[in-house]
Structure 1
Amino acid sequence: MSLNTSTSSHLNYDRKAELIAFDQTKTGVKGLVDAGITTIPRIFHLPLTPENLNSDQTSGLKPSLPTIDLEGINDDPIKRKEIIEKVKDALETWGFFQMINHGIPNSILKDALNGVMRFNEQDTEVKKQWYTREKVEKRKVVYNSNFDLYTEPVTNWRDSFFCPMLPNPPQPHEIPEPCRDIWLEYSSRVLKLGHCVFELISEALGLKPNHLFEMGCAEGLALLGHYYPSCPQPELTIGTRDHADNDFITILLQDHIGGLQVFYQNHWTDVPPIPGALVVNAGDLLQLITNDKFVSAQHKVFANKMGPRVSLAAFFSTGLYPTSKVFKPITELLTEDNPAKYRGTTVYEYETYYKRKGLDGTSALLHFKF
C-alpha cells in the first residue's frame, strides 16, 4: 500500500491500514523523507483549524520566557535567594524557564544531541533492530514513531527513542552504540543538576531543600531523544502536538532550529534556543503535589522545512517502573482555604492512564481531581 494519500478520496481513506503500513516499515518519519516524498501522507494531516496550524507561529508580540542564571548559586546566599524567587515566579506563571551556567559543559551538551542524530542517521537495517512497540519493561530502549500511533487522530512528524536510566539502569550493551557512552555520561550529569533544581523548587515552596528529594521525586530518570526530519509541508502537520509532561520535572536540551512553544496567558509563545541553555518545565506530577501552585504547562513543537531538528529530554519520574509509593498534595502546602485538589496516586497508575489517553490536547490531571 502506498503511504502517500494526498490523491486519495475521503471515501477510500483507510487510516488504520495506512498506520499499519507506516508502522511496518520500521523506518519512521525519516524513512518517508529518505524515500523522497514531496507531499506528506494523510495520517499526518492536522484538522484545518487556526489553533492547529502554523499560522499562530507568526503572532509575534509575546512575552519572553524567563532565563535564570545559576552561576554562584552555591557560593552566594543572596544570589541563591534571588534565584529561588525567580524559579518560584516562573513555575507559578509559565511552568517553564531556561537556565544558563548550570554546570554541564557545552561539549557534553553538543555530544548528547549528536548522539540522537547519530542513532537516527545510522544504517537503516541496524536501526530497525531497535524498533518496537513493546512496553519499556520488556525492552530497555524503545525506538518508534509516535508512542500513541494507533490511538490518536493525528500522527506527529517525529521519531523517538526512550531509555529509562533509573531506578533500574540499563547495562551499557543495552544502549545503542551511537549514543551509548554519551548517554551514560549525560544522564549522570543531568541527574546531579536535577537534584539542584529540586532543591530550588523545594525552597521556592517554602520547604527544606531536600523535601522533594526525600519524597522520591528524583528516584526515576529517563532519556527521550526526538528526531524531527525536515518536512515538505510543515503547514499541514505538527512535530509534537500540545501536551503536558508526565513527570515531576523535565530538563530539555534542544538544538538551534527551534519550534518549541509553550502556552502562556492564552497565547503560544516561542521558547527560543539559547546556546548552552537547558529548558526546565514542571510536569503533571509536580502540579499535583504542589496542589496547582506550580503549573504543568501545555507545549508543542512545530514541524519545519529546516531540519532535522533534534532534542533530548530528561524526565524525572519512575514511569512504568512498578512502585507502591503514593504521591498526593504536600501537607505543608494545604490550608483550610486551600484543601487538596487531587487524590493520591502512584506514578505507575498516573503513567498508565497518561499512556492510554495519549497526546490528545487535554490534561491527564483531570482524571485525578477530586
Structure 2
Amino acid sequence: MEKLVSNWFNDQPLPQSYIFPPETRPGNHVIPGCSTIPVVDLSKASGHDRTGIVQQILKASREFGFFQVVNHGVSENLVNDTMNLFKEFFELPAEDKASVYSEDPKRPCRLYTSSSNYETEKVHLWRDNLRHPCHPLEECIKIWPQKPTRYRETVAAYSIEAKKLGLRILELVAEGLGLSSGFFGDKLSESVLLSVNHYPPCPDPSLTLGVSKHCDPNLLTILHQGDVHGLQVYKDGEWIGVEPLHNAFVVNIGHQLQIISNNKLKSAEHRAVTNSKVSRTTAAFFINPSDDCIIEPVKSLIDTDESPAYRAFRFKEFLLNYVSITGNPEKSLEPFKLHV
C-alpha cells in the first residue's frame, strides 16, 4: 500500500526511480490538445447519414486508430456519477483500499501502482490503477470493491452501457468492412475489462510518464478521459494531444481489430502524460475476445493481390506474449506475422 503514488506524492520531489530515460521523456514541449483527432456524432448513425458516419469511423480507424464519439446515448448523469465515484475511491483512507490492493498480477480485481511488474521494472509509472473484469456481470461484481458504498451498483450500470456502446461501434465497423451484422458479437467481444487510472499531480511532468507508449492488445477500447489533458497519440512522428471534449468517449482500435482487418485498420501507439497542478482520473473499458477465441484475418478482407498478414492464434496466446514483452510495442505483433 505504501507504494501507491497517491499515498505519498504531496510535497515530494520526483524520485529517481520515476525519471524516464531522455529519449522517452515527454519533455517540456507537450502538445496539450489538438483538434485533428476525428470526432464522430453517433446520433447521425440512426438516420440517412449512417453511411457517412460508417465511412468517417473507418477513415479515422485507418489514419489515426483513434476517434472520439459524441451524442453516444450514454447518460451524462451516469458518466459523471461513475467518474466521481472512481475519484472518491482513490481518495478513500488507506485501510479502506487495503482489501483491494495486491501485487499479484493474477488477481482479477486489484489496486496497484505503476505496472504489473513493479519490482522488476527499471522505471516506475506515475499512476495508480484499479482493474477488474466486468462481464459476465453476475459473476464479476462479487469481487469488486465494496467501498464507496455505491460502487458496485453504479459501475455495474456504467459497464453495461459501455459494452453496449462498444458493440454499437463494432457493428458500424463491421458494416464498413462489409462483414455480416453481429460479426463482432459472441466470443470476439465476450470479455470486458475495466481499467481506472489515477494520476496525482506530478512535481516534474517533463521527466516521467503516467503510461508509457503502447498499443492496446484487445479488440476495442472505450475511454472516458474526464476534463484534464493527458492522452497523446503517436502519428507521423509526432505526439498529438487528444482534446478532452464534454461528455465524449475516446475510442481506439486494438491489435485484434488490426489483425482481423488484415491491417486495414490501425492500432495506434499512445501514452499518458502528467501535469503538476491537478490529479487526473480516467476509465477505460477494454473489449476482449474470450481466451480460446481464434483470431485471424478475415478472408474477405484479404485483397486478391495480397496474402494474410498474420497466422491464426488463440487470444490467450497473444496476451501471454504481450505481457511478456511489456514496454516494447513494436515487438508485440512480430510472433504472429506471416512474412511472405
After superposition, the Cα gap between the structure-2 partners of 1:204 and 1:346, relative to the gap in structure 1 and judged at 3 Å, is: same
Tell me whether 1:153 sits opposite 2:122 in the alignment: yes
- Shift of residue 325, structure 1, vs aligned partner: 2.2
Contact 2:229 2:243 in 1 (8 A): yes
RMSD: 1.9
**In the TM superposition, what whole-angstrom CA distance separates every residue of 1:199-219 from its partner, at most 9, and x where no partner exists?**
0110111222322225x3211
Equivalent residue in structure 2 for 1:119, among 72, 79, 89: 89
* Post-superposition offset of 1:154: 2.0
Offset at 1:26? 4.1
Contact 1:152/1:360 (8 A) holds in 2:
no
Match of 2:27 in 1: 54
Q: 77, 95, 100: which is aligned to 2:70?
A: 100
Superposed CA deviations along residues 289-332 of structure 1, whole A, max 9, x for unmatched, are 111110000001101112210000000014xx6x3221101111
Q: Secondary structure at the match of 1:131?
A: coil
Deviations 1:102-158 (A, max 9, x none): 00011111122112211111011221221112244xx33121012232443321100
> Aligned partners of 2:259, 2:141: CA distance in 1, in Å?
34
Name the CA distance, whole Å, in 2 between partners of 1:134 and 1:167. 22
Q: Find the aligned partners of 1:262 and 1:347 in 2 and give their Cα distance.
A: 25
In structure 1, C-alpha distance between the alignment counterparts of 2:308 and 2:168, rounded to whole Å: 27
SS at match of 1:203: helix
1:278 aligns with 2:249: yes
In structure 2, the partner of 1:196 is 168
Q: Deviation of residue 169 (structure 1)? A: 4.9
8 Å CA contact 1:68, 1:99 repeated in 2:
yes
Separation in 2, partners of 1:169, 1:366: 37
How many Å separate the matches in 2 of 1:201 and 1:344? 21
Whole-Å separation in 2 of the counterparts to 1:326 and 1:270: 35
Give me the whole-angstrom Cα distance separating, in 2, the residues matched to 1:363 and 1:262: 18
SS in 1 for 2:217: coil
The answer as to 2:314 corresponding to 1:346 is yes
Partner of 1:29: 5
| 1:316 partnered with 2:287 | yes
Runs of 4+ in 1 over 4 A off after TM superposition: none
Q: How many residues align?
A: 334
SS in 2 for 1:311: strand
Q: Letter of the aligned partner of 2:300 in structure 1?
A: E
CA contact 2:202–2:275 (8 Å) conserved in 1: yes
- 2:257 and 2:29 map into 1 onto residues whose CA distance is 29
On the 8 A contact 1:229/1:307 being kept in 2, the answer is: yes
- The one-letter code matched in structure 1 to 2:20 is L
Bigger radius of gyration: 1
> Aligned partner of 1:307: which letter?
V
Deviation at 1:88, TM superposition (A): 0.7
Distance in 2 between the 1:337 and 1:325 partners?
A: 28
Deviation at 1:362, TM superposition (A): 2.8
Residue 248 (structure 1) aligns with: 219
State percent identity of aligned pairs: 29
SS in 1 for 2:22: coil
Structure 1 letter corresponding to 2:30 = Q
Whether the 8 Å CA contact 2:132–2:193 is kept in 1: the answer is yes
Query: Is 2:50 aligned against 1:80?
Result: yes
- Seen in structure 2, the aligned counterparts of structure 1 residues 234 and 56 have a Cα distance that, compared at 3 Å, is same
Instruction: Find out whether 1:175 has 2:144 as its counterpart.
Output: yes
Task: Establish whether residue 40 from structure 1 lines up as the match of residue 14 from structure 2.
Answer: yes
1:133 aligned residue:
103
Deviation at 1:27, TM superposition (A): 4.4
Taking structure 1 as the reference length, the TM-score comes to 0.85
Partner of 1:65: 37
Residues 31, 54 of structure 1: alpha-carbon distance in 2 compared, 3 angstrom cutoff: same
Which residues of structure 1 form unaligned runs of 5+?
1-24
User: Which amino acid in 1 is paired with 2:100?
Assistant: W
Q: Which of 247, 261, 267 is equivalent to 1:296?
A: 267
The separation in 1 between residues aligned to 2:332 and 2:136, in whole angstroms, is 24
Structure 1 CA distance, aligned partners of 2:90 and 2:139?
20
* Alpha carbons of structure 1 residues 250 and 82: separation in structure 2 relative to 1, 3 Å: same
Q: For residue 227 of structure 1, what is the aligned residue in structure 2?
A: 198
Compared with structure 1, are the counterparts of its residues 33 and 366 closer, same or farther at alpha carbon in structure 2 (3 Å cutoff)? same
Structure 2 length normalisation: TM-score? 0.92
Q: C-alpha distance in 1, partners of 2:62/2:44?
A: 24
TM-aligned CA deviation for residue 266 of structure 1 = 1.8
- Contact 2:67/2:252, CA 8 A, preserved across alignment: yes
Amino acid at match of 2:197: H
Distance across 2 between alignment mates of 1:86 and 1:362 = 27
1:32 partner amino acid: W
Deviation, 1:63, is: 6.0
Q: Which residue of 1 aligns with 2:131?
A: 162
**In the TM superposition, what is the alpha-carbon distance from 1:340 to its structure 2 partner?**
0.7
CA contact (8 A) 2:325 2:331 kept: no
Deviation, structure 1 residue 270 = 0.8
